[in-house]
Structure 1
Amino acid sequence: MTWGQEAVSNKEKNPAQPARAYETVLTSIEADLRAGKIKIGDQLPGERSLAETHGISRASVRDAIRILDAMGMVRTSSGSGPNSGAVVISDPAIGLSATLRMHVASRQLSVADIVESRILLETWAAQSADLTRDPARSAEVLRRTSELLEAMDEPGLDREEFHDLDSQFHVLLSSLAGNAVIESMMESLRLSISDYVSESVANDAAWQKIATVLRAQHHGIHQAVSDANGALASELLREHIQWFYTESAQL
């Protein structure tokens, strides 16, 4: 059998799968986003309208909307008015983190690899931070991260609240690099192992010891960023992330 005959034979054995009905909706919405016909804040047409436009069932339209919701592309709500139905929001971290969480759960992605990727992103962001690019915004970010540090220093703070503030702190600092993709990826990496982080510390006594060290590390990182010392901030972030992962893995 020649190569051409073999290719034809394989094609006959494995015919191309027909596109799922909901994919026509996704493709159409993507095209409209690219063309600027749909923008952030716009309300998508209703189920009936989309079904008639694409010649598919309303059930298939609902499948498409659920996928867009899971991807962080729309927010859905019931009722009527400009904020009801499916409204375009575009929150990339939601879709990325949900996907990563599932693959971490299936053990196709390891927590160690997620941690290593986070180190790469955060240290790059620290090295690339430029407080002079937008001085007003940089000052606002540093003010907000300083407030987060004060909140995390509260002795009565529980673990969940601490982790939430900690996540905001790291994402805000990474935003100083001015790269929206890196910022979203970094946030998604943190969210993808949030359950692992919260479950890795066995009890409150162990957590209090770890929290004391984390607080000191956070202040050191913040000071280095405020001083525009990217090299030091990068090294402190690397030590901070590696230390917590090592400590929690041993508990």
Structure 2
Amino acid sequence: MSDALRPLARPRLYEQVVQRLREHVAASGLRAGDRLPPERKLAEQLGVSRASVKQAIVVLEVQGLVEVRHGGGTYLRRESLDVEPVDELVARKRRLPDVLDAREALETKLAELAAQRRTEDDLAEIDAALADMRREIADGELGNEGDRRFHAAITAAAHSSLLADFMRTIAPEIAESRQESLRQPDRPSKSLTQHERIAEAIRAGDARAAVTAMRRHLRTVSRVRLLSWDPDADPTPPEA
């Protein structure tokens, strides 16, 4: 049978709720920091269960678009709800653990070598990357470009052409993991602090400290809401 005649996927109800919330935010002129209507009210107005509303809110939370304050409601973190398709989130959830494993294996070694081999020019580039990230965060951005430049500077400072080739091979996947991490609440400033500790160890020529600092940083990168999200789970808590 032709693959074109495979069974059609039935859209999840909560995906439709997400789309309605996106339309509501746009039509209502809501802005970052504004509160969404309570879940019970949304369920009544949309004619769906609270479980569907809860799962829709979780999808928005996973993407860093809303902040759920337990007992205090759901608040926008962005000016609009530019939502990724759920299938793309599911695909990234599946590949992210392997990417994080590869990053820890490669980047801890790169940090060790950078502490041993860095030049003054390498240190200047690391400092410039940190300055970029500080400026981005101060401007209300995630610090994505500064983060990318910092890790690239460490790769260069390791002076290992083969490891640099490996990093280039998985660059798109690393970029995904970076974006996923930096959109976690309060993560950009924490990431910057961890970068500064890595840089200090490299500047001091302390390879062991550089490895430890990089490993701690990458363990933080791995703590993202996406990995604990189950796209098929009923988010309604069981009754006592």
TM-score by length of 2: 0.50
Tell which structure's C-alpha radius of gyration is larger: 1
TM-score by length of 1: 0.48
Question: RCO (CA 8 Å, sep 6+): is it higher in 1 or 2?
Answer: 2
